[in-house]
Amino acid sequence: MVSGSAAFRATSLANLLRRQGRVVLAAAACVLAAAPAWAHGQLESAQPAVDSTVSQSPQRVQIHFTERLEPKLASVSVRNAIGQRVDDGKPVVSPADSRILSIGLNPALPAGTYRVEWAITAVDTHRTKGQYNFTVKP
Ligand SMILES: [Cu+2]
């Protein structure tokens, strides 16, 4: 026959194990969330290319990501050296390939360095962001 206190101890142990199980699960989730950057939507390539110099004003900035994007949660902006936006404010995720995000630019950008800032949520729900420059030098 199990005494009251033994039963209590057994219950406590079971609760402790359950709690530790949750801690282990939470830790595993953290490790997964902190998985290497390649597991999330990262910039794969861009036109104009990252840190490139182009001789003609581009009509659009187009970024290829490593993962498919949630179109409603994708943003990108392009600013000149004094922080003014030079894009049309309408980021587009390609209907044909949801890894491609683009935005139109003002016509005939003057010579200068432009900063592209992007923020996306991949279909795996992970949000990533980044920025890079390109230079127009006719
Ligand atoms: Cu991810």
State the pTM of this model. 0.73
- 9 and 73 belong to one structural domain: no
122 C-alpha to ligand 1 centroid (Å): 7
Classify residue 49 by its DSSP letter. P
79 C-alpha to ligand 1 centroid (Å): 27
Summarised one tens digit per residue, pLDDT across range 90-100 is 999 999 999 99
12 C-alpha to ligand 1 centroid (Å): 38
101 C-alpha to ligand 1 centroid (Å): 17
Classify residue 124 by its DSSP letter. T
Q: Domain limits at 52?
A: 39-136
Q: Phi and psi at residue 28, in whole multiples of 5°?
A: -65, -40
Domain count, the chain: 2
- 43 and 30 belong to one structural domain: no
* Cβ-based neighbour number of residue 87 at 10 Å: 19
- 53: confidence class by pLDDT, cuts 50, 70, 90: very high
97 C-alpha to ligand 1 centroid (Å): 18
- 71 and 127 belong to one structural domain: yes
Per the omega criterion (within 30 degrees of 0), is the bond before 58 cis?
A: no
- 50 and 117 belong to one structural domain: yes
35 C-alpha to ligand 1 centroid (Å): 8
- 26 and 63 belong to one structural domain: no
